[in-house]
Structure 1
Amino acid sequence: MSNRLRASAMDTWGKHGTASKTPDVRADRRMCARFVRSLDATLERPSWLLAGAGLDRKDELPETIRVGQYITIMSNMARHAPDPAYFIDFLEAGVPYFRGGIDLATRYAPDIRSAFAILPRFANERPGIFEHRLSMDARTLTLELDACMPLGDARPILTGAPLLFLARVAAANLGRPVHEARIELRHREVPYAARLRAAFRCRVDFAAPRDAITLPRALALCPSVTHDPAVWTEALARCEAEVEPTRPNSGWSARTRGACCNLLTSTGRVPRLEQVAGELGVSARTLIRHLKAEDTRFHALVDVLLQERSQALLRENGLAIRSVAEQLGLSDASDFNRRFRRWFGMTPSQYRAQALPPLTARS
């Protein structure tokens, strides 16, 4: 895969949105199209990429596409791309498979079992392609991926990527490759099988009865070398907020907040009213009316979200003020400083000095 293709995808790999347990409904759910847009531009808009996906070549690709369309596009990649195993390079380069709370939670979990448990708990609520099933007995821990819809020729890509991500999660938690793990793939052996085995760095079985990763129970329960209690707690809170729109009984305020979390994570920009309304399937005017009925306003919800996110980011030692501003989707550090002083009556640096103990006390 070319360096240009790899670089263009570094910030576009990932998904956001909502999900349903019904396969047909799940296929119609929408997901971020930035990764597909990047592929299309980098491959110089090949005619085969979007074939059969129902996307008009006359216009620029939309911001979101249906999950079913994504599967069609990935099937085209598997059949026609110069390098159908592009996902190996992406994940080895550190491109997150999930973004937002799930990415943070898996990286800073107390152990591998806790990291893997994030997926059944939260990833199943996203517009993904799989149901994640976690089980543990006296000897092993297994996380199985059960496809909710036909994957076609895209199966090797769509199963290989998340399982390689999970192998990377386990290795990061242990601080070494997990050679003791076993990867099972339902599809037949692919031409790039040797490359795939080298990336997994453990046993890989093709034509298996399921798509899964299994590792010894003892390793799954080992304390993680990357565990950070504060970040772990914040990550769980973010996961909860990001799946809130999937809960139909939630009020409009909670659903709006969840959609804002998703958009902030996936786009890197402060969410706009029209974007959030589109995520929730209503007009901007209707969303304003629903929020007013719950005695709140859209901009007030966004403001509170940015306040909470800024406090959590500032508690992550070593993150520059400029980087915090960027993660909040704000224009620059000066804009962030002005907002923070309005919110809390102090600068971000002053807040960090109060929130973090002196270095000598932490050492």
Structure 2
Amino acid sequence: MRASVSTVQDLGMPAIYLHLLAELLNTIGVDERALLLRVGLDPARLKSTDLRVSQAQASEFVTRAIIESGEPGLGIMLARELKLPLHGALGTAVMSSRSLDEALELMTRYLTLRAPHLEVSRREEGDNVLFNVSCSMDLGPLQGFIMDAMLFGCVSMGTQLTGSPVPGAAILRRGPEPGYFHRFRQHIQVPVRYESREDALLIPRANLKLPVRFSDAQLSASSRAKCEEALKQLTEDAGFACRVRRVIETSHPFPPKLARVAATLFVSERTLKRRLQEENASFQNLVDHVRLERAGELLKNTGMNLSQIADVLGYADAANFTRAFKRWTGTSPSHYRSQALQPIKPQASSMRATA
């Protein structure tokens, strides 16, 4: 029996995917900004290629997107927008592979970085190789969307890698053909076989040898190493404090109230505080760390004045922001900006966890 979204370890979803979905909604007449804000997500923060959104918020946004757009084929539409560079280190590693087979091996090994709830297994059947896609949690109505995005995205990936649709490839889907599929059929570059035993990508074994047109041995090695490091970091950052921080990082309004974060993570306020204490963390401490990082980004990368930055970070005025910044770093925001310092670091004693 598969676990539910609320009980499975939440490694988050890359924010950039929700940004792409939001842009897609805009093209079909949905007020994507209002929708994101209702879910408690900051549209501007989703453009980051480094941030991840909690699984609960991502699921809520996608569910609302399908309902409000009235478009059950959003997964197929999103698949067409998934260009390889948007997949971070994994996208780079795949693009620099020598062959399609190597690219798919990388995708199988490091898929957790981009879609933690999905797993890919490989098996051979005659002259074909099947890449079965399964889900470790019960996604309910999201299951079709996720599988559409994944499988049709793989077909698009193959075309991007080799320069044309992979000959003989096919998509296998469990269950009957959905009513919306006929509207997309002519745009799908490979056969799609519904009523199959599994959700899978089928490729003739001989065509796995097709060369990747962006192959680069040096880049492949370095990007694979980055994937290994990112996977290690992601699994190490699986504690409750990291889940809370993900919600804080992408929240609107900022900073979020403790009650809002607790509700997002399906726990009570008391439980949230207790679990953070068990990890020697506190809610306010996490908020302050996120504030400090965002302050550094805004001071270095924008022309916003201190009052504007203070407003973005949830301070009443520039004076309050300046006092907090000096307490954390030992220097003023203006001095930090003028000196173009290295990545910002808090003073050792300035941001201790508090209960």
Q: Which moved more, 1:122-131 or 1:58-67?
A: 58-67
2:215 aligned to which of 227, 251, 256: 227
1:83 aligned to which of 54, 59, 71: 71
Which residue number corresponds to residue 39 of structure 1? 22
Counterpart-to-counterpart distance in 1, 2:341 and 2:97: 31
8 Å CA contact 1:26, 1:67 repeated in 2: no
Counterpart-to-counterpart distance in 1, 2:132 and 2:140: 19
Which residue number corresponds to residue 170 of structure 2? 182
1:154 deviation in Å? 2.0
Q: Which moved more, 1:153-162 or 1:83-92?
A: 83-92
Distance of aligned partners of 1:213 and 1:34 in 2 relative to their CA distance in 1, 3 Å threshold: closer
Identity %, equivalent residues? 18
Superimposed CA distance per residue, residues 100-155 of structure 1 (whole angstroms, 9 cap, x where no aligned partner): 11111222211111111112211135552211112345512221111111222222
Gaps of 5+ in 1: 1-20, 51-55, 268-280, 288-297, 303-329, 341-363
Distance of aligned partners of 1:27 and 1:174 in 2 relative to their CA distance in 1, 3 Å threshold: same
Query: Are positions 1:172 and 2:160 aligned together?
Result: yes
Question: Secondary structure of 1:100's match?
Answer: helix
8 Å CA contact 2:169, 2:191 repeated in 1: yes
Distance of aligned partners of 1:185 and 1:91 in 2 relative to their CA distance in 1, 3 Å threshold: same
Counterpart-to-counterpart distance in 2, 1:228 and 1:166: 21
1:167 deviation in Å? 0.9
Query: Structure 2 matches for 1:275-354, cutoff 5 A?
Result: 331=301
Counterpart-to-counterpart distance in 1, 2:65 and 2:41: 19
Q: Which has the larger radius of gyration?
A: 2
Count of equivalent residues: 246
**Larger RCO (CA within 8 A; separation ≥ 6):** 2
Counterpart-to-counterpart distance in 1, 2:99 and 2:150: 19
Which residue number corresponds to residue 134 of structure 2? 146
Question: Secondary structure of 1:120's match?
Answer: helix
1:30 partner letter: G
2:31 partner letter: E
Which residue number corresponds to residue 8 of structure 2? 26
Question: Secondary structure of 2:121's match?
Answer: strand
8 Å CA contact 1:26, 1:127 repeated in 2: no
Distance of aligned partners of 1:69 and 1:217 in 2 relative to their CA distance in 1, 3 Å threshold: same
1:93 deviation in Å? 4.3
8 Å CA contact 1:91, 1:97 repeated in 2: no
Counterpart-to-counterpart distance in 2, 1:143 and 1:98: 22
Query: Are positions 1:118 and 2:106 aligned together?
Result: yes
8 Å CA contact 2:99, 2:212 repeated in 1: yes
1:85 deviation in Å? 2.6
Distance of aligned partners of 1:58 and 1:105 in 2 relative to their CA distance in 1, 3 Å threshold: closer
1:232 deviation in Å? 1.4
Distance of aligned partners of 1:89 and 1:22 in 2 relative to their CA distance in 1, 3 Å threshold: closer
